[in-house]
Structure 1
């Protein structure tokens, strides 16, 4: 028996009947299985080794180039993975699938966080980072071949946000683990930036979730595990659902849409908007691999794919190279 086959057999013996089983996973393009890794493990590895995942280390979570200790999209994805795996293990669900979805859920996110997402949505009429993440893994990676991930992983990536519902319990975990991570860690970064203090939190959040980041994660994760065990589905208690809803509304009002960060958001929007318009007018200035895709995807989608993929720092560099004069030091 191969190592992979032993792992697949162990899944049937040890995991919940509600767990996704790697042996049953399917890909759009059939391929020979690995001797050692299950299909979900291979999904995880392909995502980690992708260019899109590497770029996440230079993409903003909330605070644009604010210092060494603020979250990026990559650290956020790793934190979602850790939270998701804890929940999956406790509920005897598939950790490998949970991890793959978590690591891939934001690979299509724009530079400059949701400011970049919002401006592309306005310019094109529709842009959503969850849908772009699916495009990245399905079509854009590996020179346009895509990663050929399992349908379970791709479904979890697509439906971690938006109106769709994940088809697996593992996908449902990441839908909520993503929220747990960004609420707690964006709150933590906000305190580091001296924008929020623990006493600023709504009373129900302080009472039901807490004020210490680590304990807040523990409170929400513990509630999910206990509630999900009872319900046979991924859920929270009524009290925690109410507290998390209040927490999320508070963070949107106090941070994500706050006047304190309006200047940075405006600058980010301006950069992305100007780059988008420039490449729409000058598609020959995009890298050759993107120029070659115009016949397949059309000009606008190709420009979206390029602009959505660049990092914060590269966006600024491109903007300077294109629009700023090469002013140097004058020598007498």
Structure 2
């Protein structure tokens, strides 16, 4: 599909913090293709395969982890970008990288790091994503970070909208290379944010059903789900319900995607944007759901928090995970040498010392965090597999 005027064009990129000469030896790729590839080849991206999405140490190989979630977000993001005439490579780069800053154990781990750093600025996984990509990853001889393009970093910083009160990590990145935090980002970044919502809203239903923490009967309380289930059952009236659960999820994803495309096209036409910079100058989101779908999606989120994310089994596992992260933080902050080579030489002053320790812990996978806890502190009761 021919790119639209409002798409991001790699030839018009604002460049990289550290200028790089073109190097044809590494293939005929443009700036956004290189960004996507750098994310995929990074150590931080590989570690996502052992970081929690919803379930800690899921009993079985069929549940999602942070890596598979990121791949599914990228798949939905590419579909949306292609339909809207946007740059698919930039969209994919943002989708793939958006969760790189998550610590072990998902939001439970983030809550523990936030509490541990309460006096030193807190912790935010989105700000940490930018910190990883601009500082902590060290794959290149001439600079720290992956030296991604301005458009990719801007999209990651603002994929959920303008950042008018950024945390310390994001402020530090912005001070080094201003990302216009108070404006809306490119359409590619806005697409990535909604692709994330569509992915986890629906794929968490699939995992919740598979785990036995959700039932189809419960889900029928949601009109959006009930409508999709009615359509699925009408097409396959003689197929067992448990075999149709994933068809329900696919149907629901399609419904949300089509709603988003129709609404976004209408907003773009009304705003009369004719460039990526015109998109940034628009004081509201151009990518979004209709009012009805937006409310239905919020209802779905509320349902998932009440019935899956805050399920007693999940809360018990999350409490254990927070104890592991809090225990590691206290131990490493008191005795940095326990972090080992490359990390044990910690700053002596605050807040740098605490932030250094948090950087180390945030990079851990779930299983490595538990292994370090057992080695440094002692036994801990965690789900099988950890």
Same fold (TM over 0.5): yes
**For structure 1, which segment, 262-271 or 32-41, has the greater mean C-alpha deviation from structure 2 after superposition?**
32-41
Residue 370 of structure 2 corresponds to which residue in structure 1? 316
Aligned residue in 2 for 1:153: 152
C-alpha separation between the residues in 2 aligned to 1:161 and 1:111? Answer: 22
Deviation at 1:33, TM superposition (A): 2.8
Question: Alignment partner for residue 20 of structure 1, among 8, 15, 23?
Answer: 8
How far residue 162 of structure 1 moved from its aligned partner, in angstroms, is 7.2
Structure 1 window deviating more from structure 2 (60-69 vs 227-236): it is 227-236
Q: Secondary structure at the match of 1:294?
A: coil
Shift in Å, 1:154: 1.1
The one of the two structures with greater contact order (alpha-carbon pairs below 8 A, sep at least 6) is 2
- 2 CA distance for matches of 1:194 and 1:286? 38
Equivalent residue, structure 2, for 1:253:
306
The 10-residue stretch of structure 1 (231-240 or 287-296) with the greater mean CA deviation from structure 2 = 287-296
1:109 partnered with 2:102:
yes
Cα gap change, 1:153/1:301 in structure 2, threshold over 3 Å: closer, same or farther?
Answer: same
- Report the CA distance between 1:279 and its aligned residue: 0.4
CA distance in structure 2 between the partners assigned to 1:60 and 1:101 by the alignment: 20
Cα distance, 1:257 vs. partner? Answer: 2.3
Partners of 2:133 and 2:146 within 8 A in 1:
yes
Query: Matches of 2:77 and 2:207 in 1, distance apart?
Result: 21
Rounded to whole Å, the distance in 2 between the matches of 1:225 and 1:162 is 19
- Residue 279 of structure 1 aligns with which residue? 332
2:50 to 52, 58, 61: 58
The equivalent residue for 1:6 is none
Equivalent pairs counted in the alignment come to: 313
| Separation in 1, partners of 2:67, 2:184 | 22
Is 1:48 the equivalent of 2:48?
no
Unaligned runs of 5+ in 2: 164-182, 230-244, 269-285, 380-386
Would the aligned equivalents of 2:338 and 2:376 in 1 still touch at CA under 8 Å?
no
Aligned to 1:298, which of 328, 332, 352? 352
Is 1:213 matched with 2:249? Answer: yes
* Cα distance in 1, alignment partners of residues 334 and 346 from structure 2: 16
CA distance in 1, matches of 2:187, 2:346: 36
Residue 132 of structure 2 is matched in structure 1 by 136
Q: Which residue of the partner structure matches residue 176 of structure 1?
A: 194
**Residue of structure 2 equivalent to 1:265:** 318
Are 1:29 and 2:36 counterparts? no
Change in Cα spacing, 1:45 to 1:60, as seen in structure 2 (3 Å) is same
Give how far 1:203 is off.
Answer: 2.9
Partner of 2:293: 240
Cα deviation for residue 324 of structure 1 reads 2.5
Higher mean alpha-carbon deviation, 286-295 vs 259-268, is at: 286-295
2:3 and 2:23 mapped to 1: Cα distance? 21
User: Which residue pairs with 2:81 in the alignment?
Assistant: 88
Flag structure 1 segments of 5+ consecutive residues without an equivalent. Answer: 1-10, 326-332
The answer to which of 307-316 and 205-214 deviates more is 205-214
**Of 215, 219, 223, the match for 1:204:** 223
Offset at residue 293 of structure 1 (A): 6.2
Q: Is the 8 A contact 2:161 2:184 kept in 1?
A: no
Return the TM-score normalized by structure 2: 0.77
What's the CA shift string for 1:279-307, capped at 9, x where partnerless? Answer: 00111122332345637982111001000
1:161 offset after TM fit, Å? Answer: 4.0
| Farther-moved stretch of structure 1 (191-200 vs 300-309) | 191-200
Cα displacement string for residues 66-120 of structure 1 (whole angstroms, at most 9, x for unaligned residues): 1211100000000000000000000000000000001111111011111001111
Higher deviation after alignment, 305-314 or 221-230: 221-230
Deviates more, 1:225-234 or 1:15-24: 225-234
Separation in structure 2 between the aligned mates of residue 89 and residue 287 of structure 1, nearest angstrom = 46
